[in-house]
Structures are given as structure tokens and as C-alpha cells.
Structure 1
């Protein structure tokens, strides 16, 4: 059995079809074990014998769409991939906060881009790309009244097969995975 995290795109916790209990129900119904949720924004941890991640992503997405009407994307990372990402310490010496909002944008594709075009906003900067985790790592300054539109910019550059999580959420997911 492999321990996975499903990072679901487009989850609105206020939507009654997208509650954690309903999301967990879809995963349990697919026969996965150790199903749990982390915060109310579409992070489901589970164990499965499958190792074909693209097939697993498709299977989960089809079930979410059929059972709950959720058309968004499903991006999966193994516990080992997330552990290696966190252990790499891509934000050395920084603490997640309003002025240093630490984020990772995960790509569904088999690999993340090797380069990211410049994002022309002093309130956001890319600090690196983790090729193994297929993630772009960035810092956003949310301490001013102006919020950079970094996520929309990434989506415009790379399409909708991406999803972003805060560094704190990634750490919580990893902790839940044991």
C-alpha cells in the first residue's frame, strides 16, 4: 500500500456537495483505506495499492464528477514525494505569515516546467522549482492592501492542471499521512 495525498482543485467548502465528509465518502467508496481530510479545501489523504498515479488521478476525478458533480482537477503526490519536498527546505529561514506567504503550486503533468517566466510584481517571487515534487515554490507578500494575482498568472501560463497549497497546509497533509 502506498500513502497518497489528493490535492483537489476547485473545492468550495461552502458548497454542500464539497464537504470533507462527502469527499472522504467518494475515496472510501473507491476502496481506498486510511482516508482522511486536511483542512476544508480539498486535501484528502488515503492509501491504495495502485502505483499508476495518472490512472489513479483519472479514476478519482471521474468518481468525484459522477458522484458529487465536481469537475475540477485531481493531483496526487505520494507521502515520499511530499516528505522529500519538505525535507529539501525550499524556504530556509522563512516562516509562513502575511508578509511571507509560502506556497507550492503542483503540476499534474509528469514534470514541472524547468523555467518560470518573470512575474512582474514585487509582491510575489518564485524561489524555485522542485522537479521531483513537480512544484513551483513561491513567496507572496499579503501584508499590503494589494494582493498579487500570482495564481491567476500561473494558470494563464500553464493551464488548469495545477493547484496551489500553502506551506503550512503541505506540512499538515504530511503530518496526517503519518
Structure 2
């Protein structure tokens, strides 16, 4: 099965985490056919579903060894990401005035109880899923909390976010 991993809080080429180091960590973890997309820690690999937890744990250990700190790797199947981006969930927020993002929990995190999401003020919650929150927020001004902050506060778990256009580009690259 093909998986997409989203490494939290990294930019390739900084703090000792190059594309080559990240791909080596994925390969050493048991992920076959590792590839990297863009510079924000987006990877894909092939692994049997039954091995996913172990592979992710080892990828996180490899990332921690390179960075000197632990970071989440949120993983979704390519099919799940295809389904997510198949519908333009942010059509009402087109244009330069909005940041459109999806925040992801670990694949094995407890399901999100959307009632725990704090009042988002100027941020608009577009959709809440068991392990993701989709949100749009104005590019400027105050009282516009980042979707990651909202998700982490609601769950007490680390999360990582990607822009909607980034997710669409990663899926397109994998399908291309």
C-alpha cells in the first residue's frame, strides 16, 4: 500500500535534515520506494498496512536522530488523501485573502471530538474529520488562530498542517 507521510515542523535543508537524510530514514525504517515532495517534509513510501505502525515509529526515530528532537510523522494512505482533495472543500475561500490548511493528527490518535475545538474567532472551520481539521483563516489581522493550534489544544496531541495547495500538489505528483 502507498502511504504519504507529513513530517511536523521541518524544512528540508535546515537543521541537518536534507532530502537524502529523510529518504534514508524512510528506507531504513522499512518504507519501500521512498520519495520526497516539496521542502516541507512530505514523503511517500510503500509498506504493508500491518507494518505501518513500526515503519512510522522508525521514521520518527530517524528524523529525531537527524534533528536532535522528536517530531510527528502523520501518515495517510494515498487513497485517503486522494479522497480528501477530490472535492474543493475551500471553494468559498478562493483568492489571496485566505490561508486554507488541513491539520493532521497521527494515524493512530484517538478520534477527535469536535466539541473540544475552541472558538476559532476569525478562523473558519470548514470540516472536522476523526483525525483532521480543515480551516481557512484571513491572511492578516488578529484573532485568527492557526488550525494546528486549535487541533492540538482540542486533543492534547501533536499535529502537523499543510496548505490545501500543497496537499493537492503532492497527490498530483504521486498520480502523475
Q: TM-score range by the shorter chain?
A: 0.7 to 0.9
Q: Distance in 2 between matches of 1:153 and 1:31?
A: 33
In the alignment, what sits opposite 1:121? 121
In the alignment, what sits opposite 2:104? 106
Match of 2:144 among 142, 148, 152: 148
Does the CA-based 8 Å contact 1:4-1:76 persist in structure 2?
yes
Does the CA-based 8 Å contact 1:98-1:141 persist in structure 2?
no
The CA deviation at 1:87 is 2.0
In the alignment, what sits opposite 1:172? 169
Distance 1:147 1:174, change over 3 A: farther
Distance 1:14 1:33, change over 3 A: closer
Coordinate RMSD, CA, aligned: 2.4
Q: Distance in 2 between matches of 1:60 and 1:76?
A: 11
The CA deviation at 1:139 is 0.4
Does the CA-based 8 Å contact 1:119-1:125 persist in structure 2?
no
Q: Distance in 1 between matches of 2:52 and 2:32?
A: 16
In the alignment, what sits opposite 1:4? 3
Please state which structure has a larger fraction of its residues in helix.
Answer: 2
In the alignment, what sits opposite 2:74? 75
TM-score (norm: length of structure 1): 0.82
Write the mapping of 1:23-102 to structure 2, written as runs, cut at 5 A.
23-95=22-94, 97-102=95-100
| 2:136 counterpart of 1:139 | yes
TM-score (norm: length of structure 2): 0.82
Number of residue pairs matched? 172
Distance 1:21 1:114, change over 3 A: same
Higher relative CO (CA 8 A, sep ≥ 6), structure 1 or 2? 1
Runs of 4+ in 1 over 6 A off after TM superposition: none
Does the CA-based 8 Å contact 2:56-2:73 persist in structure 1?
yes
Does the CA-based 8 Å contact 2:104-2:161 persist in structure 1?
yes
The CA deviation at 1:166 is 0.6
In the alignment, what sits opposite 1:163? 160
